[in-house]
Amino acid sequence: MVAAQDAPAPAAIPGPAPTSATDPPLTNNRVFGVLPNYRTADGNLPFQPISSRRKMYIALKDSTDWPVIPTSAAFAALYQLENQNPSFGQGMEGYAKRFAGAYGDQAIGNLMTEGLMPSLFHQDPRYFRVGHGRTMSRLGYAATRIFVCKSDAGTSQFNVSEVLGNSAMAGIGNAYYPDSRGLKPTFGRLFVALATDSAAQIGKEFWPDIKRRLFHRKESQ
């Protein structure tokens, strides 16, 4: 069982951020100290909705934070090894095209799932961390939040923003993946996006516990 204590509150993001009078402070307690984490909220606190302007700002921050670059580079390297979209070629030119595609997938996906779709369907793009209870229960909760979200009214509903947003990203990919067009490749991109987001939410749920145990171990040595 994972410890039930909450991690120390992350620091607020410095500098001005687009907000409304109802928006809570924006924080970024990076997962594994690296991955951007602008949209995690404490699920044990009273629900406080965020404005459409804040949703768009979160999408922008997630799309421009520096870890997006090495993540895109890693995906591009994998696609290069698999020779996906062979018309891109190999060498640096082929790698650059695959890098641009991988970055485009992330940026478009973030814009759709965290900004545009949540604003359109009045849904909250944040992950609401449980932070206590049985490990398997928390794992199941985190993994399935790609299908369940909160509305702007705080009620649970089907996560249209996640599914439709990533579907839009996968469809748009047909415009810049010349050899990966059609129904099967589109569904493949959608599956990868949903699986990646599900894994990211698991990281958001358990990273504070992992960090606390690591720091406690270092202090006790």
Residue 95 located in a structural domain: yes
pLDDT of residue 35: 77
93-122 per-position pLDDT tens digit = 999 999 999 999 999 999 999 999 999 999
- How many whole angstroms separate alpha carbon 129 and alpha carbon 126? 9
pLDDT for 8 beyond 80: no
Residue corresponding to tokens 């790609």:
146
On whether residue 79 sits in a domain, the answer given is: yes
From the list 39, 51, 59, the residue with the least C-alpha distance to 108 is: 59
**DSSP H or E run through 148:** strand 148-151
pLDDT tens profile 168-205: 999 999 999 999 999 999 999 999 999 999 999 999 99
Which residues form the domain of 91?
Answer: 50-212
Is 206 inside any structural domain? yes
Torsion of CA 111, 112, 114, 119, to 10 degrees: 110
* 90 located within any domain: yes
CA distances from 114 to 50, 171, 209 (A): 12, 17, 25
Residue 1 confidence (pLDDT) above 90: no
Per-residue confidence (pLDDT) for residue 216, from 0 to 100: 65
Residue 219 domain flag: no
Of the ranges 10-14, 118-122, 133-137, 153-157, which one carries the lowest mean pLDDT score? 10-14
Is 12 within the bounds of a domain? Answer: no
How far apart (Å, rounded) are the C-alpha atoms in residues 172 and 61?
Answer: 21
Q: How many other CB atoms are found less than 10 A from the CB of residue 189?
A: 21
Contacts of 138 (CB under 8 A, 6+ apart): 2, 130, 132, 205, 206
Listed range (29-33, 148-152, 187-191) with the worst mean pLDDT? 29-33
Angle at 119 between CA 62 and CA 70, to 5 degrees: 15
Residue 2 lies in a domain: no
- In 37-82, the DSSP E strands lie at 40-42
Count of structural domains, the chain: 1
| Residue 26 domain-assigned (yes or no) | no
